[in-house]
Structure 1
Amino acid sequence: MRVPAGYNPIWRPLVWALAALLGAGVALGQAPFGLWWLALPALSLLFPLALRTAPFKAGLFAGMGYAAVAMFWIIDPFFVEPDVYGWMAPFALFFMALGFGLFWALGIGLGVKLGVGEPSRAAGMVVGLLTADLVRSYIFTGFPWVLFGHIWLETPVAQFAAIIGAQGLGLVTLGVAAAPWLVPARRLIALAVAVAVLVGLWIGGIVLRTAPLPERAAPVNLRIVQPNAPQDLKWRPDYAEQFFFRHLDLTAQPPAAGKPAPDLILWPETAVPFLLNDPGAGLAMVAEAAAGKPVALGIQRAEGARYYNSLAVIGAGGQVSALYDKVHLVPFGEYIPFGDAFAKIGISAFAAQEGNGYSAGAHRMVLDLGALGRAQPLICYEAVFADEISGDDPRPDWLMQITNDAWFGTFSGPWQHLAQARFRAIEFGLPLARSANTGVSALIDARGRVLSSLGMGVQGVIDAPLPPAAPATIYAKTGDYPLGLALFLAMVAIFAPARFARVDRRKMRV
């Protein structure tokens, strides 16, 4: 896009700094800030900046500013062992920000170039940015973190995720922000309509959030254990046994006065210092502490030279009654992409088949726990992906997440991860029980409300009944397919008139 007349190159650094500042402002809508009322104006002001300067560069710097604030926690894993990995932290943040910047640059740049005239270019920018979020959520195993729609979590508007998902709320966010630029001749009217839409969604969200939920046929009482084992100490031999006994003590402690004994105890990801296939007396000790009640815990297991990040349900006598291996592993955190392929040419340092990293489980599953209902296990990162929740056949009764967020620091990473879990509850109308090693453990109802929680760095348990599920949601049945189709049709609607207009101008010049 040609820079308009009168645009002095001397001011370009300030323009790009302003773009980064606006991107940072949009990030303030994400957890733990939740300042949607700042994020929305910042996003709106990004439209004229991109439309009237260089859209690719505006998108690049805005996206980098966004990621620098929203994803700052990415440096925390490198400071678990700072003397070894600390030097990598600034590079990790820079390249993470650059990646976000490129997605925004392509989304804004290509979107603006689709249109002719401010309204269609603004519409193209909406389509481009939302498409960038959607593509980012699925490409290269996906990373649907800090989406535009997530800024509504602490408001009633979030309830519409049960119909259109978090990505659909991203369309609402971008549409409202773009309204004054979509109708430049009637900016005030367009802004008033956008405000009216938000008010309508707010009121509708209150109605959805307060709608009664069906009664659960029989109560299921949970105990969620949070041991608070710091990551830098978790696997040290002199601490690992201590943390294991801490799990046992929290499991065995009697319930508070007036509360029933738990029917199921939930431990976090990689909770024990032994392998499932070589537990010694460990599993029997777990069963003894639970007094015969089942314990769902995170545990590693080996199968030949391969290792799996697993969830096992331990019953009376230490017997394993259900087992799930994590399917969606974290690239570069739990495995190296193409590591097994490198092993075929003699480079085995990254190969999961040689025990260097985890191997992925065969398939996702819903565990039938009998009277405790059907639970879909989600290990850590898996709760980030809406497309991995079973909407039906069979539909779970609840979601069971175990995680170790100690890697993510104490500020934004764990709270953003919790926000993702809350969106899964809303989207699928399912309660979610979450056991986190250092926090935030929580019991979440089918409307995404946190009923009970343990904050960061707290050792303790949550004893509470499992909330009921809501009826199957629209989003559970459709996923993001309607949104993908709508984006495709919008691209056609914007591109076709623009193409004809360009052809007509070429004919006139001839």
Structure 2
Amino acid sequence: MERLAGRTMLLWGMPRIAVAIAAGAVGALALPPFNVFAALFLSFSVLVWLLDGLASHPGGGTVSRLRSAFFLGWLFGLGYFVAGLWWLGNALLVEADDFAWAIPLAVLGLPAFLALFYGFATMVAAILWSDGLGRLAALAFGFGIAEWLRGFAATGFPWNAVGYGAMPMPMLMQAAGVIGLLGVTTLAVFVFSIPALFGTRRGLGIGLAAGSCLLGAHIGYGAYRLAVADAPVEEDAPIVRLVQPVVDQSRKLENKDRTEIFEEHLSLTALPPQEPSVRPDIIVWPETSVPFILTENKDALSRIAEVLQEGQILVAGAVRVEYGAAGNAPRFYNSIYVVGSNGEILAATDKVHLTPFGEYVPFEGWLRDWGIDNLVALPGGFTAGAQRSLLTLPSGFSLFPLICYEVIFPQEIGDAIHGADAILNVTNDAWFGDTPGPYQHFQQARIRAVENGLPLVRGANSGISAVVDPFGRVVKGLHFNSKGVVDARLGSLSVRSWDSSARNLHAWGILILMFLIASAARRGFTSAAN
């Protein structure tokens, strides 16, 4: 191990660039659908050794060293994000004639931008760099700050945060309910970096002890939570039917057989219960599943009333429109409607956090001049909703709605989820085909259930649709591209969980601890050098 570490530290030029990119790409194997947990141990150990090589290089001053550290982290991030997000290019193939030219921007451009955050992480780490265990704390602190920034900077895109690689299964998800994704990510980087100590032997004993304790706590707490998790199913808990129609995305965009698509949803809705005499109470259709403006199609509402049985509720994704004064363009919203068994619209809510370039064009005035447009063909794109509101059903049961990728933003849920009985996530991942994208999206949605101690009801056009319990376990679901329905009772409606303020406090406590450890080690390292 020492020989490998030494050779890695001495790399320079193109070999160093290639190894940095490869290290990041290997780390992406920890993400769904592969879930190779061990990949990140190799990935971050190599990154530590590469940074060690910069710290020991005699040439250049502080600015040069920090610039080199930034570039090294950027290369690492480029490998990680290209390997983890290459599937974004699949969305551009749906309308290849119009958007194929932009595939390099999706496959390389976005990863190159996201890699800037990892460059920032390694630059911060380089400021605090020392030897032994302290440098691992510096790297954990740098990545924790970078992932926090990635959650909101430039509208935010915290997809595939490192912490998700540490949570591939329910037993390893439970820590998210205590320290949130940010806390898990920070500690994960620290633990994943510990094998690097075998290469230098400095701080190996205390590092192995600390890593073993943290890893043991991560596994042990998860095992304990699941061991005491089984609660009796509440007989009056609602039964949810998830409709997964698997409508091809190109077919949805053509708008030639909208009535047929609508009827396909209705026919699945009308299927008999999967368990005799157990009728679904709530039927969930995926994002933008209604292929026309529902409020302008009374025949559609009548058809829904014909299919729904007395007391049943339909929750469906649809496009909502608002007309302004004469001469003003209408506003379109990506919305969810609640429809009663009499065909009456009972409630609605709009998507608040829109997807850049998918639902709106940032800096629209000049980007459209360059031919950059939305993937969704609506004049002017979608308009963001003013605020997120609970969907309260006639029974009093409340759903906290998250449309599509809104579910990847833990900080946007916050305390607004108080009063909800379940999280509702409707999405249309058919854009991405059978790639890692839908599996990554599903895992991140499951983590939101664990963080908030609430069941998750997830309806997706092509999958993955599932009912997930508050511990991240799939109660019932449908595989990707499996057309059909699944009925599931929500069971135990909630479990005790730390609220978002407490999780944030715990996470920032971990970040501060890492900073203090790194700072103390840096002072000792500097004193010894002098």
The verdict on a shared fold, with TM-score over 0.5 as the criterion, is: yes
**Is 1:175 aligned to residue 205 of structure 2?**
no
Sequence identity, in percent?
32
Opposite residue 199 of structure 1, the aligned amino acid is G
Residues 118, 146 of structure 2: 8 Å contact kept: yes
Inter-CA distance 408–475: structure 2 relative to 1 (3 Å threshold):
farther
Q: Deviations over 1:143-181 (max 9, x none)?
A: 111111111232522111110112211122111123355
Q: How big is the shift at 1:338? A: 4.5
Q: Aligned residue pairs: how many?
A: 499
**Is 1:371 aligned to residue 386 of structure 2?**
no
**Is 1:114 aligned to residue 131 of structure 2?**
no
Q: How big is the shift at 1:187? A: 1.6
Q: How big is the shift at 1:116? A: 4.1
Q: How big is the shift at 1:472? A: 3.5
2:463 to 424, 439, 448: 439
Q: Deviations over 1:73-118 (max 9, x none)?
A: 1111111012221121123211122123221111112211233445
Residues 241, 282 of structure 2: 8 Å contact kept: yes
Which ranges in structure 1 are unaligned for 5 or more consecutive residues? none
Instruction: Find the counterpart in structure 1 of residue 46 from structure 2.
Output: 45
Tell me whether 469-478 or 298-307 shows the greater mean CA deviation: 469-478
Instruction: Find the counterpart in structure 2 of residue 227 from structure 1.
Output: 245
- Any idea what SS the aligned residue of 1:357 has? coil
Q: Following superposition of structure 1 onto structure 2, how do residues 105-144 of structure 1 map, counting pairs within 5 Å? A: 105-117=119-131, 119-144=133-158
Instruction: Find the counterpart in structure 1 of residue 211 from structure 2.
Output: 194
Instruction: Find the counterpart in structure 1 of residue 306 from structure 2.
Output: 288
Opposite residue 84 of structure 2, the aligned amino acid is A
Q: How big is the shift at 1:468? A: 1.8
**Is 1:34 aligned to residue 48 of structure 2?**
no
Q: Distance in 2 between matches of 1:237 and 1:461?
A: 24
Q: Deviations over 1:462-507 (max 9, x none)?
A: 11111323334115342434423543564466458757987998xx
Q: How big is the shift at 1:60? A: 1.6
Q: Distance in 2 between matches of 1:154 and 1:40?
A: 18
Q: Deviations over 1:223-276 (max 9, x none)?
A: 110111010111323332221110010011111352511111000111112113
Q: Distance in 2 between matches of 1:311 and 1:205?
A: 34
**Is 1:423 aligned to residue 447 of structure 2?**
yes
Instruction: Find the counterpart in structure 2 of residue 322 from structure 1.
Output: 347
Q: Distance in 2 between matches of 1:453 and 1:374?
A: 21
Residues 155, 202 of structure 1: 8 Å contact kept: no
Q: Distance in 2 between matches of 1:362 and 1:323?
A: 13
RMSD between superposed Cα atoms in Å: 3.1
Q: Distance in 2 between matches of 1:134 and 1:111?
A: 15
Q: Distance in 2 between matches of 1:136 and 1:101?
A: 10
- Any idea what SS the aligned residue of 2:240 has? strand
Q: TM-score, length-normalised on structure 2?
A: 0.86
Highest relative contact order (Cα 8 Å, sep 6+), 1 or 2?
A: 2
Inter-CA distance 97–110: structure 2 relative to 1 (3 Å threshold):
same
Q: Following superposition of structure 1 onto structure 2, how do residues 232-251 of structure 1 map, counting pairs within 5 Å? A: 232-251=250-269
**Is 1:210 aligned to residue 227 of structure 2?**
yes
Q: Distance in 2 between matches of 1:424 and 1:382?
A: 11
Q: How big is the shift at 1:205? A: 0.8
Q: How big is the shift at 1:141? A: 2.0
Q: How big is the shift at 1:220? A: 0.7
Inter-CA distance 8–460: structure 2 relative to 1 (3 Å threshold):
closer
- Any idea what SS the aligned residue of 1:107 has? helix
**Is 1:84 aligned to residue 108 of structure 2?**
no
Residues 449, 470 of structure 2: 8 Å contact kept: yes
**Is 1:476 aligned to residue 480 of structure 2?**
no
Residues 287, 294 of structure 1: 8 Å contact kept: no
Q: Following superposition of structure 1 onto structure 2, how do residues 392-411 of structure 1 map, counting pairs within 5 Å? A: 394-411=418-435
Inter-CA distance 160–8: structure 2 relative to 1 (3 Å threshold):
closer
- Any idea what SS the aligned residue of 1:284 has? helix
Inter-CA distance 190–122: structure 2 relative to 1 (3 Å threshold):
closer
- Any idea what SS the aligned residue of 1:318 has? coil
Q: How big is the shift at 1:38? A: 2.1
Residues 119, 184 of structure 1: 8 Å contact kept: no
2:488 to 464, 472, 489: 464
Opposite residue 188 of structure 2, the aligned amino acid is T
1:161 to 176, 180, 190: 176
Instruction: Find the counterpart in structure 1 of residue 336 from structure 2.
Output: 311
Residues 16, 57 of structure 1: 8 Å contact kept: no
Opposite residue 283 of structure 1, the aligned amino acid is L
Q: Deviations over 1:15-56 (max 9, x none)?
A: 211111111111111111110122223222221122213422
Residues 433, 444 of structure 1: 8 Å contact kept: yes
Inter-CA distance 322–405: structure 2 relative to 1 (3 Å threshold):
same
- Any idea what SS the aligned residue of 1:234 has? helix
Residues 41, 195 of structure 2: 8 Å contact kept: no
- Any idea what SS the aligned residue of 1:457 has? coil
Q: How big is the shift at 1:295? A: 0.3
Q: How big is the shift at 1:184? A: 4.4
Tell me whether 412-421 or 217-226 shows the greater mean CA deviation: 217-226
Residues 25, 38 of structure 1: 8 Å contact kept: yes
Which ranges in structure 2 are unaligned for 5 or more consecutive residues? 1-5, 55-67, 324-329
Residues 258, 292 of structure 2: 8 Å contact kept: no
Q: Distance in 2 between matches of 1:193 and 1:492?
A: 16
Opposite residue 313 of structure 1, the aligned amino acid is V
Instruction: Find the counterpart in structure 1 of residue 3 from structure 2.
Output: none
Opposite residue 446 of structure 2, the aligned amino acid is R
Residues 84, 160 of structure 2: 8 Å contact kept: yes
Opposite residue 172 of structure 1, the aligned amino acid is L
Q: Distance in 2 between matches of 1:188 and 1:14?
A: 31
2:361 to 305, 316, 336: 336
Q: Distance in 1 between matches of 2:499 and 2:49?
A: 33
- Any idea what SS the aligned residue of 2:258 has? helix
2:321 to 296, 299, 302: 302
Instruction: Find the counterpart in structure 2 of residue 271 from structure 1.
Output: 289
Q: Distance in 2 between matches of 1:7 and 1:160?
A: 33
Residues 313, 320 of structure 1: 8 Å contact kept: yes
Instruction: Find the counterpart in structure 2 of residue 18 from structure 1.
Output: 19
Q: Distance in 2 between matches of 1:104 and 1:78?
A: 26
Q: TM-score, length-normalised on structure 1?
A: 0.89
Q: Distance in 2 between matches of 1:417 and 1:406?
A: 12
Q: Deviations over 1:124-144 (max 9, x none)?
A: 222111211111012122111
